[in-house]
Amino acid sequence: MLVGMLGVHPSRHVCVRIFHMKRLVFVFVFAIACVNRLGVCTSEPASIFSNQELRVAVIYSPPFTMETSPGVYSGFSIELWEKLAAMMKLSYVFVPCASMPELMQKLESGQVDVAATNMVVTSARLKMFDFTHPYFNGGLRIMVNEDRRFTFAKLFEALNNYGYIKIFLVFGAILLAITYVVTLFQRKLTRDFPQRWHEGLADSFYHVMSVAMNGKTNYAAGHGALGKVLAGIWLMCGVAVVAYITSSVTSIMTLNKLKNEIHGVQDLNGKLVGVMKGTAAEEFCQKHQIFVKAYTDPVVAVADLVSHKTQALIGEAASLQYYDKAHPELPITEVGSVFSDEKYAFGVPKNSDLRTELNIQLLMLQEGGFLHDLQVRYFGEP
């Protein structure tokens, strides 16, 4: 304006230079603002939970959660949680729980912020707390005792359970009574029969057992028609006794073999099955009316299976397979295919804001291949 008043008009070249200078100043100021804004953004926490220490509930459930030393945990779920915590810059402390029911109670009451273990997503549990997106597809499987040898002790136990031992004892008492009667008759009727009682009883017992076992004896058939008839009846009874004992033992061995043959869920009816307390396996057995014995310690559950206190053990397929490979010295194996497909996820209290942030990071890890690589490292190629 001053230039116009003085009658001096700037050249076109000068105007262009002024315009470029103004634009340069604008770009410079905008760049400074962006840098300042970026600095503010990078200084902000990655999560609203970064300034607090989260309580993470865990239970012993290999290979998903394991305590390698006091207070130090490892496993599939632990590694995944540690990766998420690092991405979200979370601070946390592990809270060990003795069983799944205890863990769920703490989660429902808000005593913990996250449950980092192989928790199965079910409709009943969704009423108690929330879940993140599933991070593992699992299921149930059956573990059995691989040692199926039929020893004498097992045979005796089976015969006793079905009442055969009592019948055999009655037979034994009858044989002893007959031995005594035979001894009395032989002492009077046979000249060369031992006259000492212990020798006579021993001789009669041998011949009575001979008749009972194979229907043969060295004694005379008897005196007169009546004696021969009685001897014939005794021979017939001896054959019947042998046949009964043989058939009883054979049927018990066959029944016990069939009893030990477990190939799938259809073979569990009438059998005592071990499960971990409060797990999906227990819920499955209750739903299908399978007799169960609930445990809180998987080591004890497997020990009872090995000692034949239970006929089978139902648990999460990956956990059973991992335990089997980690203990090659135990006579255990898995049978049948995986059933009751399940989804494992992290549990969080109802309406927790942490759920959304965890879901975002979980999807990023899934899209980036981290979850696949972690699964291959623990369980091999699917």
Domain residue limits, the chain: 2-43, 152-260
In tens, the pLDDT along 66-106 reads 998 888 999 999 999 999 999 999 999 999 999 899 999 99
Alpha carbons 94 and 344: distance in angstroms, whole number = 19
Highest mean pLDDT among 40-44, 165-169, 234-238: 165-169
SS3 label, residue 357: helix
Q: What is the mean pLDDT of residues 110-117?
A: 96
Q: How confident is the model at residue 196 (pLDDT cuts 50, 70, 90)?
A: confident
| Among the ranges given (59-63, 195-199, 258-262, 283-287), the one the predictor scored with the smallest mean pLDDT | 258-262
Q: Which CATH class is domain 152-260?
A: mainly alpha
CA angle 35, 38, 41 (to 5 degrees): 155
Instruction: Note the pLDDT of residue 30.
Output: 55
Instruction: Note the pLDDT of residue 187.
Output: 75
Instruction: Note the pLDDT of residue 232.
Output: 64
Q: What is the mean pLDDT of residues 210-238?
A: 60
Q: What is the mean pLDDT of residues 146-157?
A: 65
Q: How confident is the model at residue 340 (pLDDT cuts 50, 70, 90)?
A: confident
Q: b/e for 349-374, b at 16 or more Cβ within 10 A?
A: beebebbebbeebbeebeeeebbeeb
Output the CA–CA distances (angstroms, integers) from residue 236 to 147, 214, 230, in the order listed. 40, 10, 10
Instruction: Note the pLDDT of residue 52.
Output: 84
Is residue 332 within 8 A of residue 143, CB to CB? The reply is yes
Beta strands in 65-112 (DSSP E): 66-69, 72-74, 91-96
Instruction: Note the pLDDT of residue 44.
Output: 41
Alpha carbons 258 and 177: distance in angstroms, whole number = 38
Instruction: Note the pLDDT of residue 214.
Output: 61
Q: How confident is the model at residue 165 (pLDDT cuts 50, 70, 90)?
A: confident
Nearest by Cα to 317 from 335, 290, 300: 335
In tens, the pLDDT along 357-375 reads 999 999 999 999 999 999 8
**pLDDT > 90: percent of the chain:** 39
Q: Answer yes or no: is pLDDT of 59 > 60.
A: yes
